[in-house]
Amino acid sequence: MYLKSAYEIRDKYLRKDMLPTIFCPGCGIGSVLQFTLRAIDDLGLNQDEIVWVSGIGCSSRVPGFVNFDGLHTTHGRALAFATGIKLANPDLKIIAFMGDGDAAAIGGNHFIHAIRRNLDVTVILINNFTYGMTGGQVAPTALKGLRGTTAPYGQFENPFDIANLAVSAGANYVARWTVFNYLQGINSIKKALQKEGFTLVEFLSPCPISFGRRNRMKTAPELIRWYQKITVPLAKAKKMSEEELEGKIVIGEFADRDRPGLVREYQEYIKRAKKMMGWEQ
Amino acid sequence: MRYPFPVGRSDFIQGDEAIARAAILAGCRFYAGYPITPASEIFEAMALYMPLVDGVSIQMEDEIASIAAIIGASWAGAKAMTATSGPGFSLMQENLGYAVMTETPIVVVDVQRGGPSTGQPTLPAQGDIMQSIWGTHGDHMLIVLSPSTVQEAFDFTIRAFNLAEKYRTPVVLLTDAEIAHMRERVYIPKPEEIELVERKLPQNEEEAKLPFGDPHGDGVPPMPIFGKGYRTYVTGLTHDERGRPRTVEAEIHERLIKRIFRKILDHKDEIISMEEFMLDDAEVAIVTTGIVSRSAVRAVKILREKGVKAGLLKLNTIWPFDFDYIEELAERVRKIYVPEMNLGQLYHLVKEGANGKAEVELIAKIGGEVHTPMEIVERVVG
Ligand SMILES: Cc1ncc(C[n+]2csc(CCOP(=O)(O)OP(=O)(O)O)c2C)c(N)n1
Ligand code: SF4
């Protein structure tokens, strides 16, 4: 892969008048944004045919910085809005940029139903184990014992494994990486963007400000080291016992299949309706 | 274009069915909903018709998703509608505010039923008048229409789409279980008999760059729909004319919100529709909306027979509200009666409008029955 300079990517895809971004130093959202733009660039996708959709949260501010059509909606609802955009104009390709709280807490219902329908969308999910924008409350992805302002003594609930949830709900493509898995990350986004139906690339992403500070990892490098410690590649995980995997997060590619997407299913449905009513042969 | 129902003639149909057919004739090609009595028949009719006219009908996971989907569809260029009843309408309120803030044309039908909460699922009420006007948060402005017959349910649905498109705003069609489930003769016009309004699209790059500006001075910016290369950013945050988030500057927030008010209030004469019945020489006025208007017409006739100079003002538009007109009316009459199927919602608006110039009395009724004409008459003659 020929790597364009970050400047080239920035100049081509970001809205200059919106810079600088709102992201804190050491935040991983910018890296994931860069991966996504590089994937779009590498694939040579038409900028005018992509719509970015998001909910509310730090991660959801991304569509404001990129020079594409974008819909920054309400907390958790991005995929419901996306359903309308995609079905009303199937020519548009949709990228949903979401936070873990956004996707799995308030938006959990929309998330599983968008996957069940196999809505044609690529979800780029920033999992920072916390609610960044509102200042570090626990997210449903937070591992047991992690601290947040609303669980000052350490999370006592079980976390969601978003990628696994997406696999079982029926997503066509699911991968999870940390923001330091640069090439795997970009390749996964490229794969996701080329597929029909629901595709998800989840990134474990450092939030030193709202999350790290409260969990004795004030800087991005400290978070990197922690991610290295808690993540296990899929191939290795397969050989590990349940006890060994306790408190670990598996990374890799979890699903890659080609079930028909919602748009195609609906187009077939229209044909069936017309046939059943005797409007068409 | 072939239609899945007869056009250019009358049909004997329910209010919900009339709304669905009107929506199709108004050009609605995207419907998203979630079942709820007494609005489900709108969805069921849309489910039957939409695929046949190459439109979309989709059952979402809840009402929050339903209104979200139609807003998305509208930005993708479609005329879009959802329908619900009180509890579902409550769930929609956050995104209704989003539609106001992002100036998205959509039509939301609320077939009222007795509340609060799940209340009386099958019985009519007018308990959502305040919710339809004030349900979402923040200072906001939208349009609320209220039909009183099945024919009006049809006509007002077409009008709701036209107003939504013209003013780039959400429009609520506020009806009730009685009209939803009642069958009446309705004239279904041919498409060429219907006047349709389409949203303004940007005519050039300049206009497209100001998706929340006011290039034509009428307060309504052209809408750069997605996929046309305009690269529009739409956000529910306070934004400037170009759509850039500007959340802390007081002037920018004020300018935006006041324009959203102005684009509707400056055109209120065109938007507000009301009908007068025997009001010219009236000494007492009855002000109603929706289904109760029908009892009120009969009540006025009986009152006239009894020698009471009564007249009726029927509000087809509930919001914006013509406070000035009500004040003029209050100057002409001795007393205004407001019969409504709740414990006083329209009453507050009328009382404010009357501004002390005439006494205003509420004739409240709840529990799932429409006022009988005699109930109104008896209150007026005391
Ligand atoms: C209906 C609603 N509830 C709550 C909020 C407040 N809120 C804003 S952002 C946010 C959480 C964001 O966390 P996440 O989705 O994980 O994204 P991050 O900021 O970490 O990227 C919350 C709760 C809101 N805006 N709307
Ligand atoms: S609060 Fe966390 S997620 Fe939000 S911008 Fe700062 S570092 Fe990033």
pLDDT band for position A281 (cuts 50, 70, 90): confident
Determine the average pLDDT of the residues in A24-31: 96
Q: B42: distance to nearest CA of chain A, Å?
A: 18
Q: What is the pLDDT of residues A88-115, one digit of tens each?
A: 999 999 999 999 999 999 999 999 999 9
Q: Could you tell me whether strands B284-289 and B310-315 are parallel, antiparallel, or unpaired per DSSP bridges?
A: parallel
Taking the Cβ of residue A273 and every Cβ of chain B, the question of whether any pair is shorter than 8 Å is answered with yes
Mean per-residue pLDDT over chain B, rounded: 98
CA-A23 nearest atom, ligand 2: 5
Look-up: residue for tokens 């956004």?
A102
User: What's the CA angle centered on A205, arms A200 and A207, to 5 degrees?
Assistant: 140
Domains contained in chain A, CATH given? 7-277 (3.40.50.970)
pLDDT score, position B23: 98
* pLDDT above 80 for B120: yes
B chain contacts of residue A17, beta-carbon cutoff 8 Å? 244
With contact defined as beta carbons under 8 Å apart, do B151 and B18 qualify?
Answer: yes
CA separation for the pair B164, B105 (Å, rounded): 5
First to last CA, chain B: 57
Q: Is the pLDDT of residue A1 over 60?
A: no
* CA A123 remoteness from chain centre: 4
- Does B4 sit within 8 Å of A81, measured CB to CB? no
Helix (H) or strand (E) holding B288: strand B284-289
Pocket of ligand 2 (CB under 6 A): A 23-24, 27, 29, 58, 128, 132-133, 207-210
CA distance A84 to A96: 13
DSSP B199: -
Under the banding of pLDDT at 50, 70 and 90, the label for residue A4 is confident
Overall average pLDDT of the B124-138 stretch:
98
Q: Is the pLDDT of residue A174 over 80?
A: yes
The CATH number that domain B9-193 falls under is 3.40.50.970
> Is the CB of A113 less than 8 angstroms away from the CB of B61?
yes
The CATH classification of domain B274-381, taken from the options 3.40.50.920, 2.40.50.180, 2.60.40.10, 3.40.50.10470: 3.40.50.920
Cβ burial A241-263 (10 Å sphere, 16+ → b, else e): eeeeeeeebbbbbbbeeeeebbb
Gap from CA of A124 to ligand 1 centroid (Å): 16
Mean pLDDT of B120-135: 97
**How far lies B145's CA from each of A120, B115, B323, in Å?**
36, 20, 16
Residue A4's nearest CA partner among A44, A38, A39, A46 is A38
Whether residue B101 lies within 8 A of chain A, CB to CB, comes out as no
Say whether pLDDT at A260 is over 60.
yes
Note the pTM of the prediction, 2 decimals. 0.98
pLDDT band at A280 (very low <50, low <70, confident <90, very high): confident
ipTM over 0.95 threshold: yes
Chain B residue whose CA is closest to A92: B227
Share of chain A above pLDDT 90, in %: 96
Which residues sit opposite A131 in a β-bridge?
A137
Q: Tens digits of per-residue pLDDT, B317-362?
A: 999 999 999 999 999 999 999 999 999 999 999 999 999 999 999 9
Would an 8 Å CB–CB cutoff place A279 in contact with chain B? Answer: yes
Query: Rg of chain B over CA atoms, in angstroms?
Result: 21
Secondary structure class of B226 (helix, strand, coil): coil
- The domain ranges of chain B are 9-193, 205-271, 274-381
A191-228 in b/e form (b: 16+ CB < 10 A) is bbbebbbbbbbbbbbbbbbbbbebbebeebebbbebbe
What does the pLDDT look like over B267-319, one tens digit per residue?
999 999 999 999 999 999 999 999 999 999 999 999 999 999 999 999 999 99
Q: How confident is the model over B90-98, as a mean pLDDT?
A: 98
Q: Which of A51, A86, A273 shows the shortest C-beta gap to B51?
A: A273
- The average pLDDT across A237-243 equals 96
A269 at interface of B, judged by CB pairs closer than 8 A: yes
Q: What are phi and psi of B234, to 5 degrees?
A: -115, 125
**Burial category of A20 from C-beta neighbours within 10 Å (exposed 0-12, middle 13-18, buried 19 and up):** exposed
The pLDDT, as a whole number, for residue A191 is 98
Distance CA(B309)–CA(B282), nearest Å, equals 5
Map tokens 């919710």 to a residue.
B131
Three-state secondary structure call for residue B196: coil
Fold: same for B9-193 and B274-381:
yes
State residue A3's pLDDT score. Answer: 75
Dist CA B139 CA B147 (whole Å):
26
What pLDDT digit, counting tens, does each position of A214-226 carry?
A: 999 999 999 999 9
* Average pLDDT rounded to a whole number, residues A178-204: 97
> What average pLDDT does chain A have?
96
- C-alpha distance from B267 to closest chain A C-alpha (Å): 28
User: What is the reported pLDDT for A2?
Assistant: 63
Strand partners of residue B364 = B340
C-alpha dist (Å) from residue B297 to B140, B285, B292, B302, B314: 33, 11, 9, 9, 9
